[in-house]
């Protein structure tokens, strides 16, 4: 099947528009895409940048530490402490779940909230 000149022009135009859209999005989106979201009992507890080393106390039940672009659960008052044995989460994705305390830490994209988090 031979492409007509109009088909080639249409395909080129679509590709050009797609490339321009990608360029504009990459130009205007913030650079910081390394965030974690913490929820407790399904409700947002806070969003925090993985670029800032800090310890986050999650209510009275858990503490996580952000260090070197990764987050790890360092304290949990649950009986099995399985969340403390889960591997660290970084910007590439993943989650840490403390089922008894209903705490979930997950990697997410850029937050509309402050990078320092909300509580």
Q: Are 47 and 38 in contact (CB under 8 A)?
A: yes
Predicted TM-score (pTM) of this structure: 0.65
Same domain, 39 and 85: yes
Written as tens digits, the pLDDT of the chain (119 aa) is 677 888 788 887 888 888 878 777 766 655 545 899 999 999 999 999 999 999 999 999 999 999 999 999 999 999 999 999 999 999 888 999 999 999 999 998 654 444 444 44
DSSP string, 16-77: HHHHHHHHHHHHHS-S---EEEEEETTEEEEEEETTS-EEEEETTTEEEEEETTEEEEEEE-
Same domain, 68 and 46: yes
Q: 115 lies in a domain?
A: no
Which residue range is the domain that position 71 belongs to? 35-108
Same domain, 56 and 85: yes
Q: How far apart are CA 90 and CA 58, in angstroms?
A: 19
Q: 7 lies in a domain?
A: yes
């Amino acid at each position: 099947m031979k492409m007509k000149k109009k088909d080639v022009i249409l395909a080129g135009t679509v590709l050009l528009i797609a490339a321009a859209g990608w360029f504009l999005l990459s130009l205007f989106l913030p650079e910081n895409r390394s965030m974690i979201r913490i929820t407790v009992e399904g409700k947002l507890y806070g969003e925090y940048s993985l670029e800032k080393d800090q310890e986050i106390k999650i209510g009275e039940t858990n503490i996580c530490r952000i260090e070197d672009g990764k987050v790890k659960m360092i304290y949990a008052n649950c009986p099995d402490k399985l969340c403390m044995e889960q591997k660290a989460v970084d910007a590439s994705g993943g989650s840490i779940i403390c089922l008894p305390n209903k705490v979930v830490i997950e990697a997410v994209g850029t937050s509309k909230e402050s990078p320092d988090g909300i509580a």
